[in-house]
Amino acid sequence: MDYHKILEGCLKGNLKAQHKLYECFAGKMLGVCLRYSANREEARDMLHDGFIKVFTKLNTYTGSGPLEAWMRKVFVNTALEHLRKNDVLRDTIDYEGIAEDLDANVDIESDINCNELMQIITSMPPGYRTVFNLFAIEGYSHQEIASLLRISEGTSKSQYARAKSWLQTKITSKYSVP
């Protein structure tokens, strides 16, 4: 889809163009928000706030990369602001030296589908979920995560290791054959 005309309209404050942009990306961006939120209502709040930021900062989009990638960053940052504002990461603990290698020999007999996996990830404790999403899904480095979340790099690494362990335990207990 050619977003050039939609973007022009949005930059001029055209409500129809803004609605069209919303229709094009709301589903994908809600998915981003759901990965960082505890529930659908919270994700919808993040989505709303994210679109407000998109519309107010659209003039900073240079067009050098895909619009969706630029919007995804806006929504990730909006979700992180929401988590910081609600002090979700207050319970993170800096544990240096937590083993990063988990048991790779776990055999899960049953296939897990994407929706089931997302439900499990959504049920993670907020600190684990946030770091897991940033590192494993969004591709941020631990140094970048530490800066974004205002935590130490060691805390980011330990939260990721704990998230992987937590996820492995949940998946193994749910899908392993007794």
- Specify the higher pLDDT residue, 93 or 164: 164
Which CATH number fits the domain 4-86, given the four candidates 1.10.287.130, 1.10.1740.10, 3.40.720.10, 3.30.70.270? 1.10.1740.10
Q: Is the pLDDT of residue 100 over 60?
A: no
- Specify the higher pLDDT residue, 105 or 155: 155
Q: pTM for the full model?
A: 0.76
Name the token pair of 65: 């990369």
Distance CA 90, CA 10 (A): 38
Q: What CATH number has the domain spanning 90-175?
A: 1.10.10.10
Q: What is the mean pLDDT of residues 84-94?
A: 62
3-state helix, strand, coil split of the chain in percent (to 5) is: 70, 0, 30
Q: How many CB atoms lie within 10 A of CB 164?
A: 18
pLDDT of 87:
67
- The domain locations on the chain are 4-86, 90-175
pLDDT digits (tens, 9 = 90+) for 112-159: 677 788 888 888 998 899 999 999 999 999 999 999 988 999 999 999
Q: With contact defined as beta carbons under 8 Å apart, do 46 and 37 qualify?
A: yes
Q: Among residues of the chain, what percentage have pLDDT more than 90? A: 58
